[in-house]
Amino acid sequence: MNLPRPIEIVGGGLAGLALALALRRADVPVTLFDAGRYPRHRVCGDFIAGLSPDTIARLGLAPFLADALHHRTVAWYHRARLIRVQQLPAPALGLSRHALDARLATAFVAAGGELRSETRAVDLSAAPGRVLATGRARRDSPWLGLKFHVHGLTLTRDLELHLGTEGYVGLATTESGAVNVCGLFRRRPITAAGPALLPAYLTAIGLGPLAARISAAAPDPASCCAVAALDYSAPAPEAGIIRLGDALGLIPPFTGNGMAVALQSAESALGPLLAYAQGSSDWSAACAATARALHLRFRVRLTAARALHPFFLRPHLQLMLAQLTRARVLPLRPLYALLH
């Protein structure tokens, strides 16, 4: 009997970790490279919306999600005005990346996987058995993502979404009780730093009352993080390369679907990679099968999210969005289905 072919995964975010663990549980030799170390905070909404029980079962995620909060309602705000309360068709799972990434990494090592943390892979070229889950593509962009956790903050609903001038921010309670505050902003000449940076951006985009509310609570300085060079365009496909998670293409954060996309992309790649590792297909066939699965699963979702994103960022379109939402004309349930 031939030994399984090894798989190398570059990038230890959710997509890379979930795939690595699922492959190891099938006795595939897996080496996972990541430039950072665990646990760590990431710029992320810290909740999972749109993840099906089938995906959770196939990837064996249930033990890691056991303490996730179940978020069922979303309060939409335009500036300081409440414009809509949305009931989610299925609960979103409130769980921090700080906790989930570390749990998956620990389980991967316990399953016999080789984790090379604090190791930046140099060779990202196409090669049999190499999967790229390297995160977002870095391109010039005026957009900035900011995030931190706040203790002692009470939300009006399970989730809050606040629209400001050329930016928006989401709030979600995590498994620890801390509230995750995460926003997307057009970069501005703001000199604040650390826990003062995100409230300064909130004030700059017309969300001063929210900034005051957050500043009156207790931000966790260790959770402050930022990402720049955010590009939401579709990357060009490359032959012989499997890209997963954000490397496949960023989904705009207003969807709340980024964590689910990462996990679902790992699920889509699992079958073709198992076939390759077990010798029943070659690498080109595995790449082609994965590309087809990813295209079918995400094409409509990503296209729709990119088309709608300007309505959350451009002031005149955002005003239209707010008016339609307040008038209850915006079909939130069909849009949710389209974006998840």
Domain that holds residue 270: 7-138+231-339
Looking at residue 138, its pLDDT comes to 72
Q: Which residue has the tokens 């077990």?
A: 278
Identify the three-state secondary structure at position 103.
Answer: helix
297 located within any domain: yes
CATH of the domain at 99: 3.50.50.60
This prediction has a pTM of: 0.95
Burial 45-71 (b: 16+ CB within 10 A, else e): bbbbbbbeeebbebbebeebeeebbeb
91 within a domain of the structure (yes/no): yes
pLDDT value of residue 329: 92
- State pLDDT tens for residues 83-95: 999 999 999 999 9
Q: How confident is the model at residue 137 (pLDDT cuts 50, 70, 90)?
A: confident
- pLDDT tens string 242-296: 999 998 889 999 999 999 999 999 999 999 999 999 999 999 999 999 999 999 9
Question: Is the per-residue pLDDT at 218 higher than 90?
Answer: yes
Domain contains 53: yes
Q: How many domains does the chain have?
A: 1
For residue 1, what pLDDT is reported?
57
Residue 64 contacts by C-beta under 8 Å, 6 or more apart in sequence?
Answer: 100, 103, 104, 107
Report pLDDT digits (tens) over 163-212.
Answer: 999 999 999 999 999 999 999 999 999 999 999 999 999 999 999 999 99
* Residue 169 included in any domain: no
Residue 252 maps to a domain? yes
In a domain, 66, yes or no: yes
Domain assignment present for 323 = yes
Domain membership flag for residue 118: yes
